[in-house]
């Protein structure tokens, strides 16, 4: 006889229940058997790995987001005063060293050069006059010497005649007076010659050169130098910045900043680390630099130098802590990070960045 299927009555309906096979009963048991060793060994291994990672990296890195891109900035000013007649650059324009930036009215300085040339010509005329005068002193000296020799002979003759009684004392005194006058005339002629000779060359910057001509040439060199300074050129490669203050017609004063050249080809990071991060920090350690402006960009660098003082130490008004309300604040020290990688994006002065320094040793 066929066995009747077991049935379970549920309300008015009857539901058939399939018999459970042995394979279906064994499979959950096998799964539980595999899961148990995984939980026993896998979880502790993972925990040990996490703990080991934190143990190895704890204290190894020092990081800060108080860091900014820095670049050399050259403030350009005029060395001579005058009215601006030409502005050859515009804001954010890239320039090369020696490119013309702006020009100052050169008319007053051309006039100064012409005046210096005229002063040289006048000095040369005076020099020729001095040469003529000096040449004349030679004849005067010779005439005075001849007169003195004649006076000496006359005095000696009158002295001999006085001894013989053939002349009077008045005549002898007259001869003596004539000799003294001749000597004075010779001395004056020699003094005039010496003065003329000193005016010709003595005291010149160049040996043998007339001092008046030398001074006139110095004035001309200065005038020519000032004329050349009316054209202001870029002192270095870079980008023009803060040039809006430079306008045609503006009166430029000596030393007044006209514009700024930012040398963007050389950049570094000024990272302000907490003083508590400096214990293991050394020059030469590797650093990773990322930028807020360029997500995903990370550049390699190294610690180039560590500041000689905290930021507050060099502020305009240094902190005065000698009072009863002093609160200890962790100081920050500027650390200069040189970037070793070539950046595919333009680094702009002042960009915010994040710096992480590996404190385990120098870069390999």
Q: What is the largest CA-CA distance in the chain?
A: 207
Residue in the block written with tokens 């050129």: 233
Does residue 72 have a pLDDT over 80? yes
Cα–Cα distance measured from residue 347 to residue 10, given in angstroms and rounded to the nearest whole number: 79
List the Cα angle 114/116/118 in 5-degree steps: 70
What does the pLDDT look like over 135-167, one tens digit per residue?
Answer: 777 777 888 888 888 888 888 888 888 887 777
129, 186, 195, 196 from 135: Cα distances, Å: 10, 16, 12, 9
Rounded to whole angstroms, the Cα distance separating 212 from 103 reads 33
> Residue 319: which residues within 8 A CB-CB, separation 6 or more?
312
* DSSP one-letter code for 253: P
Angle, helices 107-164/169-201, rounded to nearest 10 degrees: 160
Tokens of 96: 């090369």
pLDDT tens readout for residues 197-228: 776 655 444 445 677 888 899 999 999 999 99
Q: Say how far apart CA 59 and CA 165 lie, in whole Å.
A: 127
| CATH 3.40.50.2000 matches 61-105+235-314+326-362 | no
pLDDT for 202 equals 52
42 SS3 class: helix
pLDDT digits (tens, 9 = 90+) for 314-358: 776 666 666 667 778 888 999 999 999 999 998 999 999 999 999
Using the structure block, give the residue that is written with the tokens 């000689």: 308
């Amino acid at each position: 006889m066929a066995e009747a299927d077991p049935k379970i009555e549920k309300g008015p309906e009857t539901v058939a229940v399939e018999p459970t096979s042995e394979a279906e009963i064994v499979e959950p048991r096998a799964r539980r058997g595999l899961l148990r060793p995984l939980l026993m060994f896998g979880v502790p291994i993972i925990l040990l790995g996490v703990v080991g990672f934190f143990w190895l990296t704890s204290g190894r890195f020092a990081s800060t987001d108080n860091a900014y891109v820095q670049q050399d900035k050259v403030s350009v000013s005029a060395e001579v005063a005058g009215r601006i007649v030409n502005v050859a650059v515009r804001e954010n324009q890239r320039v090369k060293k020696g490119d013309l930036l702006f020009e100052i009215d050169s008319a007053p300085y051309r006039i100064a050069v012409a005046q210096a040339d005229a002063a040289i010509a006048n000095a040369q005329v005076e020099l020729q006059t001095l040469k003529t005068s000096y040449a004349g002193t030679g004849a005067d000296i010779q005439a005075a010497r001849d007169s003195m020799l004649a006076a000496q002979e006359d005095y000696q003759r009158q002295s001999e005649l006085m001894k013989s009684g053939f002349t009077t004392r008045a005549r002898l005194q007259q001869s003596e007076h004539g000799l003294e006058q001749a000597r004075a005339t010779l001395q004056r002629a020699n003094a005039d010659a010496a003065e003329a000779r000193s005016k010709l060359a003595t005291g010149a910057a160049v040996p043998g050169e007339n001092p008046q001509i030398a001074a006139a040439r110095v004035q001309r060199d200065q005038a020519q130098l000032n004329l050349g300074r009316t054209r202001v050129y870029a002192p270095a490669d870079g980008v023009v910045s803060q040039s809006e203050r430079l306008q045609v017609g503006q009166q430029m004063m000596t030393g007044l900043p006209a514009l700024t050249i930012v040398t963007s080809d050389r950049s570094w990071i000024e990272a302000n680390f907490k003083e508590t991060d400096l214990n293991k920090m050394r020059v030469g350690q590797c650093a990773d630099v990322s930028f807020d402006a360029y997500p995903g960009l990370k550049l390699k660098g190294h610690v180039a130098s560590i500041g000689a003082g905290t930021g507050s130490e060099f502020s305009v008004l240094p902190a005065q802590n000698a009072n009863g309300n002093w609160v200890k604040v962790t100081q920050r020290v500027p650390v200069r990070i040189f970037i070793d990688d070539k950046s595919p994006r333009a680094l702009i002065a002042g960009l915010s960045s994040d710096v992480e320094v590996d404190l385990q040793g120098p870069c390999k």
